[in-house]
Structure formats: structure tokens, C-alpha cells
């Protein structure tokens, strides 16, 4: 692996006095690659994603120890502005959450937040993002319609367009294809494959076959720790750890 874009060191997280939900996390993310995070419900996948852009700090009582290096610098450094960090490390949430506004405004939202005022630039960037998210053809004639009228799969691609409009360097996708039909799911996967040319992608998924299809690297989480991290082919054909084997082959743990 060349110089990783993100390096997680001894990361631990707790949401209060209860026991930690993340423990001793070490992980290096390769630039322009897709890393899949798999693991049972409650194992800490979403929590780990939320650490990467410091979103977790918005949860009261959340306590992080350890460090996360992004392009060689700690994301917890005094000079780091969390808002700017979240622009550079974008996130798409587990449930598609379009804002109650038009399709256009949904995608323009982050750009306006970042201070973009020129209608021409906004128009151009919204179109680019919708094209990249493979949604443009389906919405070009109704950009002023409410986002809520879109189908589930279209909403999912809309929130991806919203995330990539601000041109982040890293894209965090939490279950981007849950509750989608197989064709929409394949579209999202195809999209992930194309997007990795421009972004580094971390995708959380419950669908093992999906992780095997889209990712270059895969991490298996269990009880807040990373049990195994390897290139995807190795992890799915010849995992080192019995716990990984049991999980991906569907055996009793």
C-alpha cells in the first residue's frame, strides 16, 4: 500500500459510561480504493464511519481516544475545522435522507453552504454531480420537483449526488443499497466502481456478496474491534481468522 489517505491508530469510542463500542481500531485506507466494512448489527460499523469525519462528536457524551490521520495530519488537531473536514470526508447515511426541498436544491445544498452563489456555477456543479451519480437522465426534466417524489433507489443516488457535489476526497457510504431492488443495487455498485477513480470510498454493507463485488479491501468487525482486514479476494476465499470464516460462511458463532 502506498502512503494511506487515512490512518486510524488505536481508536476507541464510547457513548457514555457504558463499555466502549469501538476498541483498539487500527486501519489504513488506500487512496482511490473501495474498502468494505462488514460485521453483524451493532458491531460498530456506523460508529466507525462517524468517527472518520468527527460526526460522532455531535452525540452527547461521545468520547474518542486514539488518533485518525487524514493526509498525514490528525483530524483532531486544533486547527482543523470540523465543517471543512466533513466537506473533505463526505458521508451518505444508512437511510436515504433527502431534504424537504427540490431535487436541484438538495444537490446544491452543500455548495451554497460552502458559499457558492453564482447560479451558473451551481447549475454546472449540480448537473455534474447528478451525472456522476447516474441520476441525471432520470431527473433532468424535473429538477424543481420535490425530492420526496423520487423512488427509493433514486433518493439513494440523490443523496450520493449531494455528497459528491462538494467534491470530497473521501466518501463514506453507510448501507448505500439497503432496501433497493437488485437492479438499483447493481447501479449503485457500478457507481461506486466508477467513483473510486476520483474518491476514496468506505462502504458499510450487510450484504456480503455486495462487499465482495465492490470492494478492494475488506474489514470484518465484531464487537467493536476489527477482527481481520485484508484484500477482498483473500478475505472471501481464505480468511485467517475462524471468526471471519464463521461470519462470511454463515456459521454459528
Which residue lies nearer to ligand ATP by CB, 90 or 224?
A: 224
45 binds ligand ATP (CB under 6 A): yes
Kindly determine how many residues on this chain lie close enough to bind other proteins according to the rule CB under 8 A. Answer: 16
> Three-state SS for 155?
helix
Beta-carbon contacts of 225 under 8 Å, excluding residues fewer than 6 positions away, are 22, 23, 24, 25
216 binds other proteins (CB under 8 A): no
C-alpha–C-alpha distance, residues 197 and 192, integer Å: 9
| Residue 147 DSSP one-character state | G
From other proteins, ligand ATP, Mg ion, none, interface partner of 248 (C-beta below 5 to 8 A by class): other proteins
* Interface characters, 193-212, with other proteins (x: CB under 8 A): ---------------xx--x
Q: 170 forms bridges with which residues in the sheet?
A: 89, 200
End-to-end CA distance of the chain: 32
> Three-state SS for 82?
helix
Range in contact with other proteins (rule: CB under 8 A) among 53-61, 99-107, 114-122, 230-238: 230-238
CB of 92 to Mg ion, least distance (A): 12
Which of 95, 142, 194, 251: binder of other proteins (CB under 8 A)? Answer: 251
41 binds ligand ATP (CB under 6 A): yes
CA distances in angstroms from 145 to 3, 129, 148, 158, listed in the order given: 44, 17, 8, 13
In the complex, the residues that contact ligand ATP under the rule CB under 6 A are: 15, 21, 39, 41-47, 59, 94
In the complex, the residues that contact other proteins under the rule CB under 8 A are: 208-209, 212, 236-239, 242, 244-246, 248-252
Amino acid at each position: 500500500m502506498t502512503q494511506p489517505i487515512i490512518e486510524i491508530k488505536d481508536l476507541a469510542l464510547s457513548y457514555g459510561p457504558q463499555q466502549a463500542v469501538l476498541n483498539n481500531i487500527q486501519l489504513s485506507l488506500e487512496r482511490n480504493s473501495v474498502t468494505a466494512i462488514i460485521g453483524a448489527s451493532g458491531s460498530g460499523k456506523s460508529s466507525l464511519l462517524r468517527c472518520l469525519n468527527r460526526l460522532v462528536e455531535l452525540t452527547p457524551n461521545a468520547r474518542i481516544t486514539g488518533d485518525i490521520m487524514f493526509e498525514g495530519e490528525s483530524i483532531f488537531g486544533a486547527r482543523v475545522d470540523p465543517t471543512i473536514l466533513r466537506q473533505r470526508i463526505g458521508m451518505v447515511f444508512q437511510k436515504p435522507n433527502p431534504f424537504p426541498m427540490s431535487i436541484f436544491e438538495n444537490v446544491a445544498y452543500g455548495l451554497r453552504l460552502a458559499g457558492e452563489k453564482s447560479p451558473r456555477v451551481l447549475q454546472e456543479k449540480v448537473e455534474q454531480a447528478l451525472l456522476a451519480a447516474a441520476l441525471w437522465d432520470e431527473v433532468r426534466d424535473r429538477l424543481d420537483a420535490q425530492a420526496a417524489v423520487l423512488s427509493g433507489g433514486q433518493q439513494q443516488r440523490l443523496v450520493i449526488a449531494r455528497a459528491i457535489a462538494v467534491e470530497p476526497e473521501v466518501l463514506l457510504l453507510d448501507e448505500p443499497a439497503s432496501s433497493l431492488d437488485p437492479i438499483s443495487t447493481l447501479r449503485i455498485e457500478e457507481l461506486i466502481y466508477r467513483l473510486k477513480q476520483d474518491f476514496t470510498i468506505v462502504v458499510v454493507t450487510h450484504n456480503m456478496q455486495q462487499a465482495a463485488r465492490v470492494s478492494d479491501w475488506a474489514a470484518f468487525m465484531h464487537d467493536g474491534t476489527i477482527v481481520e482486514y485484508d484484500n477482498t479476494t483473500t478475505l472471501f476465499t481464505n480468511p485467517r481468522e475462524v471468526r471471519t470464516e464463521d461470519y462470511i460462511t454463515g456459521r454459528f458463532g
